[in-house]
Chains A and B, each alone.
Chain A
Amino acid sequence: MRYLRLAGIFWAASAAARMEYRAAFAVSLVAAVVETAGKLFGVYLFYSNGYDLGGWRWQEALLVLGFAQLVDAFFILLFQPNLRRISEMVQDGTLDFVLLKPVDGQFWMSVQQVGVVGFPYLVTALALLLFAGSASGLPAGGWGLLGVAAVAAVLLGYAVAFLLATTSIWFVKIFNVVYFLSSMIWSAQYPVQAYARPFRLFMTFVLPVYFMTTAPAELALGRAQASWAWALFAVALGFFLLSRAFWRFALRYYSSASS
């Protein structure tokens, strides 16, 4: 509960700071709409050229797109602003202050700030999911699975991002790590079956973006019989635990290396 309250305080303060920038917010609103329209246009291009993205109806493909947008929205909303701070705080030494606080360090580093400009993306992502879900005729059970899978997908996105951001304890200047991940999710906006086989394997086993976009859609649609989709939950939990362990390991290094 203390943690929830802390997060609330952080977000209110950080939102207040960001709301100063009205122009930025207005622009991000427009950008989110344009970007969503553009992504839909991308899907349209494939179907209008007669390609069904590896055996998906267009409504179902939009569900995948919706999950990609959802994870991306959380990147902009939470992961990007916070994980960049790790790099900055290592650089200017203020990480020490965080470590002195009687609060879980990883939690602190993950919720300090909120990128208000991510809200429009979140809204469009949810709208997309709702539309694609009902257009695909999801049954009640499907909606339930969709919700649970969405949580797991976001958790997985967070864990992978945090894992990579933690490496800034060693390589100070890697603000772009988060940008890299966000662009990888961009490339996973179509069902993995749409891609050539080596890419499919890469997106499943190297960068687990398959689990963030295609797998949740497969679960919700009940297409998961012959696929890896159910592994989503194990993968998400596994990466989350790994990110915690790695953070602790990095801190040990940090506190023994700094003077």
Chain B
Amino acid sequence: MSVVVANRLSKMYQVAEKEPGLAGTLRHFVARRYKQIAAVREVSFELGEGEIVGFLGPNGAGKTTTLKMLTGLLYPTSGRAQVLGYVPHERRSGFLKQITLVMGNKAQLIWDLPVLDTLRVNAAVYEIPEVEYKKRVAQFAEMLAIEDILTQPVRKLSLGQRMKAELLASLLHHPRVLFLDEPTLGLDVNAQVAVRDFVRSYARERGATVLLTSHYMADIEALAERVILIHEGRLLFDGGLETLLDRFAPYKEVRLDLAEPAPAGAFDAFGEGVDFEGRSVRLLVTKERLTGVVAALLERFEVRDLTVDEPPLEEVIGRIFAAGAV
């Protein structure tokens, strides 16, 4: 049975329009004009038990809106959301106790108090027994390597430490479904890896279902086998990461190391996305042309080294969104 179901989910917003300047302000003060904006349009997908799914899309694509509908913070304008058999926006206690939402750009920790105080509040709110609570805090803190900061006021923590503590607080009640909205936003590479590892081992250990958005493709590559792409509120793709690459990236990345500098523009005929820097060249070549192009390159230039690789995921996704079509 599916743990998370989105069935033709749509969300319309009404926003007020205002022109700049004093005249605009005054006009806006007296009479407001509104316009309807569709944040999410008829998005459908299902997540099975224990799945970790990457949720991708450019800013404003409707990712956060979708997550909020699935966690019950928003109710859909039309369509149906179902999580663990519950209708999210009814906000039943049984539902809330089994899910969590982590937002990389917002904090639930109490700013002026040590992390442990927020944890205590959460333990009480989720009715976690004392012994169990201590056990979980110890275990999670060890996994995240933040044992020694739990007694420090939140405002003294670095961004990375704060995010780890945020995760700890959000997972303390052992939710079965995790909605993670940019959990690694702004973190340095080490902290990103730590967060990623933590999410992975938590999900594996507890068989939790995870829906994760991130700007960092490394997060998606490391955690998710399946990805869902949305753009301008519409679902573009839902399937395996491999399939995505096959379907949307019929390219290979060819890197050349030349013996002598070549004139600019010399490679334009061979492929797209030419990156040309002195003697090292990088270009994208469609799979059908690959053999021919490599042969031609070797013939035309004096090549010291040549590698063929999968292009980076960022670039692939970027191309899909730039094209805007599937």
A interface, CB within 8 angstroms of B: 12, 15-16, 19-20, 22
Main SS of the interface on chain A?
helix
B151 within 8 A of A: no
In the A-B complex, list the 3 residue pairs whose CB atoms are closest, starting with the nearest: A16-B25, A19-B29, A19-B25
* Measured CA separation A22–B22 after assembly (Å): 15
For the complex formed, measure the closest distance between the CB of B23 and the CB atoms of chain A, giving whole angstroms.
11
List, in ascending order, chain A residues with CB within 8 A of B29's CB: 19, 22
List, in ascending order, chain A residues with CB within 8 A of B25's CB: 15-16, 19
* Measured CA separation A36–B259 after assembly (Å): 86
Residue of B nearest to A21 (CB): B29
Residue of B nearest to A17 (CB): B25
Residue of A nearest to B26 (CB): A19
Q: Output the residue of A15, A16, A20, A22 with the most chain B CB within 10 A.
A: A16
Interface string of B28-71 (1 = CB under 8 A from A): 11000000000000000000000000000000000000000000
Size range of the chain B interface in the assembly: under 10
Residue of B nearest to A12 (CB): B22
List, in ascending order, chain A residues with CB within 8 A of B28's CB: 19-20
* Measured CA separation A12–B26 after assembly (Å): 11
* Measured CA separation A16–B28 after assembly (Å): 10
List, in ascending order, chain B residues with CB within 8 A of A19's CB: 25-26, 28-29
* Measured CA separation A12–B22 after assembly (Å): 7
For the complex formed, measure the closest distance between the CB of B2 and the CB atoms of chain A, giving whole angstroms.
42
For the complex formed, measure the closest distance between the CB of A141 and the CB atoms of chain B, giving whole angstroms.
38
List, in ascending order, chain A residues with CB within 8 A of B22's CB: 12, 16
Main SS of the interface on chain B?
helix
For the complex formed, measure the closest distance between the CB of A52 and the CB atoms of chain B, giving whole angstroms.
45
Residue of B nearest to A91 (CB): B155
* Measured CA separation A35–B263 after assembly (Å): 80
List, in ascending order, chain B residues with CB within 8 A of A20's CB: 28
Residues 166 to 190 of chain B near chain A (Cβ within 8 Å): none
* Measured CA separation A37–B22 after assembly (Å): 32
For the complex formed, measure the closest distance between the CB of A42 and the CB atoms of chain B, giving whole angstroms.
34
* Sample of 6 more A-B contacts, CB < 8 Å, known A15-B25, A16-B22, A22-B29: A12-B22, A16-B25, A19-B25, A19-B26, A19-B29, A20-B28
Interface string of B233-254 (1 = CB under 8 A from A): 0000000000000000000000
List, in ascending order, chain A residues with CB within 8 A of B26's CB: 19
* Measured CA separation A20–B28 after assembly (Å): 8
* Measured CA separation A16–B22 after assembly (Å): 7
Q: Output the residue of B22, B25, B28 with the most chain A CB within 10 A.
A: B25
List, in ascending order, chain B residues with CB within 8 A of A12's CB: 22
* Measured CA separation A20–B25 after assembly (Å): 8
A-B contact list, 10 entries, CB within 8 Å = A12-B22, A15-B25, A16-B22, A16-B25, A19-B25, A19-B26, A19-B28, A19-B29, A20-B28, A22-B29
* Measured CA separation A22–B25 after assembly (Å): 11
For the complex formed, measure the closest distance between the CB of A91 and the CB atoms of chain B, giving whole angstroms.
8
Interface string of B1-22 (1 = CB under 8 A from A): 0000000000000000000001
List, in ascending order, chain B residues with CB within 8 A of A15's CB: 25
For the complex formed, measure the closest distance between the CB of A35 and the CB atoms of chain B, giving whole angstroms.
23
* Measured CA separation A22–B26 after assembly (Å): 11
For the complex formed, measure the closest distance between the CB of B243 and the CB atoms of chain A, giving whole angstroms.
45
For the complex formed, measure the closest distance between the CB of A70 and the CB atoms of chain B, giving whole angstroms.
26
* Measured CA separation A22–B30 after assembly (Å): 9
For the complex formed, measure the closest distance between the CB of A100 and the CB atoms of chain B, giving whole angstroms.
22
* Measured CA separation A15–B26 after assembly (Å): 10
For the complex formed, measure the closest distance between the CB of A77 and the CB atoms of chain B, giving whole angstroms.
18
Residue of B nearest to A18 (CB): B25
* Measured CA separation A63–B28 after assembly (Å): 38
Residue of A nearest to B32 (CB): A22
* Measured CA separation A69–B29 after assembly (Å): 27
* Measured CA separation A16–B26 after assembly (Å): 8
* Measured CA separation A22–B28 after assembly (Å): 10
List, in ascending order, chain B residues with CB within 8 A of A16's CB: 22, 25
Interface string of B249-276 (1 = CB under 8 A from A): 0000000000000000000000000000
